[in-house]
Amino acid sequence: MKTMKCNQLGGACDIQFHANTFEEIAEISKQHGMEMFQKKDQAHLNAMNEMQALMKDPGAMKAWFESKRKEFNALPED
Ligand SMILES: [Zn+2]
């Protein structure tokens, strides 16, 4: 398992996610983001606005995703 924090994955808090693959941690992070969105957590809403701005440019989004994947892959196993 590897660990990344919400704010390392485009979020806004220090909560830790644990997963074996980047796809898995991206999914957990997404679900956490949706939960925070429903709670109208302002810090996460701001972070999501930034992500949405990034998503308007598919190339930039892909580059962001790949840099996060590399970051994840470079992490030591817990
Ligand atoms: Zn968070």
Q: What is the pLDDT of residue 52?
A: 92
- Give the distance (Å) from ligand 1 centre to CA of residue 37: 10
- Give the distance (Å) from ligand 1 centre to CA of residue 28: 11
Q: What is the pLDDT of residue 14?
A: 98
- Give the distance (Å) from ligand 1 centre to CA of residue 12: 5
Instruction: Give the tens place of pLDDT for each residue, 28-49.
Output: 999 999 999 999 999 999 999 9
Buried b (16+ CB within 10 A) or exposed e, 34-48: eebeeeebeebeebb
